[in-house]
Amino acid sequence: MSTAIYIFVMASVTYLIRMIPFTFFKKKIKSQFIRSFLKYIPYAVLSAMTIPAIFYSTGNPVTAVAGTIIAVVLAFFDLPLIVVALAASLGAFIAGLFL
C-alpha cells in the first residue's frame, strides 16, 4: 500500500511541475533577460548533476580526472559521443592500472 502512495506523490509532483508554468504564464515572455535565463537552466542543472558524479565514479579522483581530460579533449574535436565515452573509460582504466 505504501508503494502506491509513493507513486501517487511522485506523479503529483511531476504533474505540478509541468502544469504550473502553463497556468501562470499565459502570454509569451518578452523580457530578453528572463528568456535567456530560462534557456540556460537545463544546461546548468545537467552540469550540476553530472560533474560531481564524474569525479566520484571511479573511486579514485586521479583516474576520474584522467578520463575527464580525455573526454573534454575529444569532445572539443567534435568526435562522436560513443568514441568520447569509450576513450574516457579506457583512459580512466589505464590510469587506474598505473596507480
Contact by Cβ (8 Å): 34, 21: no
Mean pLDDT of the chain: 91
pLDDT level of residue 28 (50, 70, 90 thresholds): confident
Cell numbers describing residue 54: 564524474
Q: HEC states along 13-61?
A: HHHHHHHHHHHHCCCCCCCHHHHHHHHHHHHHHHHHHHHHHHHHCCCCH
pLDDT digits (tens, 9 = 90+) for 3-23: 899 999 999 999 998 888 888
Domain boundaries, given as residue ranges, for the chain? 29-98
Predicted pLDDT of residue 57: 87
**Three-class secondary structure of residue 78 per DSSP:** coil
Question: What's the confidence (pLDDT) of residue 1?
Answer: 65
Asked if residue 71 lies in contact with residue 88, where contact means CB atoms within 8 angstroms, the answer is yes
Residues 54, 64 contacting (CB under 8 angstroms): yes
Is the pTM higher than 0.75? The answer reads: no
Cell of 13: 509532483
Q: Tell me: the pLDDT tens digits for 57-85?
A: 888 999 999 999 999 999 999 999 999 99
